[in-house]
């Protein structure tokens, strides 16, 4: 519907006597556009030349548009230049048929035109736990990938594991000095053992800073292919995946099989591809030597601080490995867009990375995107693995399920669905950039604007439909023409919400903002519950329409929550 209105406006505003850019069409009434926003620096030949007068002239022309006449009841001007569009009653009433016909596809579009996007998210470090801090990247990134897929993009999902770097020198030194590989292997949760050793390393390094040099030596041995060092590192990777697989399974997270059969291409995969990067930087005269012998890329006019590519001892860094990663992605998949869903504290890092990739000629402006989420923090400090100040994601999931069980979620399976749904919703409903102070009550909220409220509303729609089917009521409502049906305020409010779902999905993808979809779904659930609490469905004279309203609401809630990675139980 929005496309038809835009085309009609475009046709009118391109005429010589008006000569305006196409105004943005938004949701006010059914649709609205603001002519005044497009008058800056423009002139028209309409007498008076005010936004109100131009709007009046546009409306006169739009009222003669043959396409709009079929779907628009009225077009009116408000304020200094707002043009409001109101759909015909028949169009609104027929909309549930479209929704039910499209089923799980309603809300999807072809906006992406089969362009390719790679979405990188979660990306934990090997030998470290998935903590509450990883939850945001994991579920926001997954939701963004789902939104892009729903809008016609070819989506690759990559879990770019942190499985290389100096921290492994620290880990290997700790295992060799204070650990026992056999005991770690036998442990039910080997990652917890590795974390304890990692924390101990940093405690001891504070007393004896020379341990950091020893850690660098161990990482250098790892890079040089030392057999024993490699064996320990490979064990760390295997032990870590025991924990990762369980958590991802519970969260319903899957990555593209193209990347190491769904495990993602970690930094180590690009170990033998970094010389090519260094040579290309040199050939394009981008790599310079720093004061102490390190190799860096300097930016024109000091746009950003220099980016280090090689340390003075010749070992690589994150930038080296990420450059190799993105070149591989470009060569293998030719993506139109690459999105990194990583914490906002890494903003400068990605600005440097993207600028280097533009200097290398790999990507153009806008093809590399950093979606930076805010951090979970304690009230008085930042979470840190090295200091032991972390909350394990496994513990958070267990607590969410426990709370759902206490609130009467019934079976263990339903408690898992409701608990994890609550956890996801309470994060996704926020602007991704927002920092969150860790509070058990808030992250596990199960009332009001919450996951269980949305799930319960969906379950309510399914209950109504089951009851209607079991009673098999006889009605002649199907013989009533939609143009003759009268709708009350609550029914009209629902119908007007339905038409905007595909547009909200597209907007949420465009702005990398799953919270926009959450806002829409919560509003829809409130409208349905207001309708349900005020009007009878089964046994009403307007049975057919109300059943279609119920079915369409359920279908949109299910489709929307699925895009957010939240399951929808049929009964609660």
What is the DSSP secondary-structure string of 281-339?
HHHTT-EEE-TTS-EEE--GGGSSPPEEEE-TTS-B-HHHHHHHHHHHHHHHH--SEEE
Name the average pLDDT for the chain: 88
pLDDT value of residue 12:
73
Task: Name the pLDDT band for 407 (thresholds 50, 70, 90).
Answer: confident
Task: Name the pLDDT band for 27 (thresholds 50, 70, 90).
Answer: low
- Write down the pTM of the prediction: 0.89
pLDDT value of residue 53:
80
In the chain, residues under CATH classification 1.10.730.10 are 439-563
Kindly tell me the sign of the dihedral angle through the C-alpha atoms of 272, 278, 283, 284. positive
Q: What is the dihedral of CA 432, 433, 436, 441, to 10 degrees?
A: -30
- Give the pair of three-digit tokens for residue 172: 């290997």
Given a cut of 60, is residue 182 above it in pLDDT? yes
Any idea which fold 121-377 has? Rossmann fold (3.40.50)
Lowest-confidence pick of 45-49, 142-146, 351-355, 499-503:
45-49
- Give the pair of three-digit tokens for residue 148: 């892009």
- Give the pair of three-digit tokens for residue 283: 């050939």
Task: Burial-class residue 225 by CB neighbours within 10 Å (0-12, 13-18, 19+).
Answer: exposed
Question: Rounded to 5 degrees, what angle do the CA atoms 266, 509, 244 make?
Answer: 30
Higher pLDDT: 383 or 560? It is 560
Helix (H, G, I), strand (E, B), or coil: what is residue 165?
Answer: coil
Residue 377 to residue 119: CA distance in whole angstroms: 25
Given a contact cutoff of 8 angstroms between Cβ atoms, the answer to whether 426 and 136 are in contact is no
In the chain, residues under CATH classification 3.30.1360.70 are 2-87
What's the half-sphere exposure (Cβ side, CA atoms, 13 Å) at 95?
28
Given a contact cutoff of 8 angstroms between Cβ atoms, the answer to whether 390 and 376 are in contact is no
Q: Of 500, 357, 475, which is closest to residue 1 (Cα–Cα)?
A: 500
3-state secondary structure 82-135: EEEEEECHHHHHHHHHHHHHHHHHCCCCCCCCCCEEEEECCCCECCCCCEHHHH
CATH 3.30.1360.70 fits 2-87, yes or no: yes
The tens digit of pLDDT for each residue in 380-392 reads 555 454 444 578 8
Lowest-confidence pick of 269-273, 277-281, 361-365:
269-273
Any idea which fold 439-563 has? Isoleucyl-tRNA Synthetase; Domain 1 (1.10.730)
Given a cut of 70, is residue 555 above it in pLDDT? yes
Q: Of 238, 119, 204, which is closest to residue 196 (Cα–Cα)?
A: 204
The tens digit of pLDDT for each residue in 211-228 reads 999 999 999 899 889 999
Beta strand 31-34 with 82-87 is: antiparallel
* Whole-number Cα distances in Å, 467 to 448, 460, 525: 26, 11, 20
3-state helix, strand, coil in the chain (%, to 5): 55, 10, 30
In the chain, residues under CATH classification 3.40.50.620 are 121-377
Q: Please list, in sequence order, all residues whose beta carbon lies within 8 angstroms of the beta carbon of residue 480, skipping any fewer than 6 positions away.
A: 544
């Amino acid at each position: 519907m929005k496309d038809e209105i835009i085309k009609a406006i475009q046709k009118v505003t391109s005429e010589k006597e008006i000569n305006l850019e196409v105004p943005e069409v938004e949701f006010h009434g059914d649709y609205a556009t603001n002519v005044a926003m497009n008058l800056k620096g423009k002139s028209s030949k309409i007498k008076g030349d005010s936004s109100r007068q131009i709007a009046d002239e546009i409306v006169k022309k739009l009222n003669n548009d043959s396409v709009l006449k079929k779907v628009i009841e009225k077009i009116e001007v408000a304020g200094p230049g707002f043009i409001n569009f109101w759909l015909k009653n028949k169009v609104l009433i027929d909309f549930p048929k479209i929704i039910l016909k499209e089923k799980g596809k309603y809300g999807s579009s072809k906006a992406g035109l089969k362009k390719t996007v790679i979405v990188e998210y979660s990306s934990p470090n090997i030998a470290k736990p998935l903590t509450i801090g990883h939850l945001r990247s994991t579920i926001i990134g997954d939701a963004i990938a789902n939104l892009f897929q729903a809008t016609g993009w070819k989506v690759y999902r990559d879990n770019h594991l942190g499985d290389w770097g100096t921290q492994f020198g620290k880990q290997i030194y700790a295992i060799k000095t204070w650990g026992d590989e056999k005991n770690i292997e036998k442990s039910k949760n080997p990652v917890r053992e590795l974390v304890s050793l990692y924390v101990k390393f940093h405690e001891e390094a504070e007393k004896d800073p020379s341990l950091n040099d020893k850690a660098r030596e161990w990482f250098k041995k790892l890079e040089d292919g030392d057999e024993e060092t490699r064996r320990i590192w490979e064990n760390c990777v295997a032990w870590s995946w025991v924990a990762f697989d369980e958590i991802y399974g519970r969260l319903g997270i899957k990555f593209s099989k193209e990347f190491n059969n769904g495990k993602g291409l970690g930094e180590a995969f690009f170990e033998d591809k970094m010389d090519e990067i260094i040579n290309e930087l040199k050939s394009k005269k981008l790599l310079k030597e720093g004061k102490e012998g390190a190799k860096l890329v300097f930016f024109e006019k000091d746009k950003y601080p220099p980016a280090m590519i090689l340390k003075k001892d010749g070992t690589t860094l994150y930038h080296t490995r990420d450059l190799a990663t993105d070149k591989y992605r470009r060569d293998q998949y030719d993506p139109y867009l690459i999105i990194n869903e990583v914490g906002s504290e890494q903003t400068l890092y990605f600005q440097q990375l993207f600028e280097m990739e533009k200097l290398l000629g790999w990507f153009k402006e806008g093809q590399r995107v950093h979606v930076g989420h805010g951090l979970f923090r304690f009230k008085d400090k930042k979470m840190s693995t090295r200091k032991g100040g972390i909350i394990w994601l496994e513990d958070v999931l267990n607590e969410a399920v426990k709370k759902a069980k206490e609130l009467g979620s019934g079976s263990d399976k339903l408690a898992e669905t409701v608990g994890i749904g609550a956890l996801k919703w309470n994060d996704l409903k926020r602007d991704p950039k927002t920092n969150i102070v860790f509070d058990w009550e808030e992250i596990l909220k199960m009332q009001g604007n919450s996951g269980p409220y949305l799930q319960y509303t969906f379950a309510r729609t399914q209950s109504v439909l089951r009851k209607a089917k079991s009673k098999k009521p006889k009605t002649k409502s199907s013989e009533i023409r939609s143009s003759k049906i009268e709708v009350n305020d609550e029914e009209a409010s629902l119908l007007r919400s339905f038409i905007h779902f595909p547009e909200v999905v597209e907007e949420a993808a465009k702005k990398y903002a799953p919270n926009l979809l959450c806002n829409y779904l919560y509003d829809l659930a409130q409208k349905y519950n207001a309708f349900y609490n005020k009007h009878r469905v089964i046994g009403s004279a307007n049975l057919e329409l109300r059943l279609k309203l119920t079915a369409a609401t359920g279908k949109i809630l299910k489709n929307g929550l699925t895009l957010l990675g939240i399951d929808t139980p049929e009964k609660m």
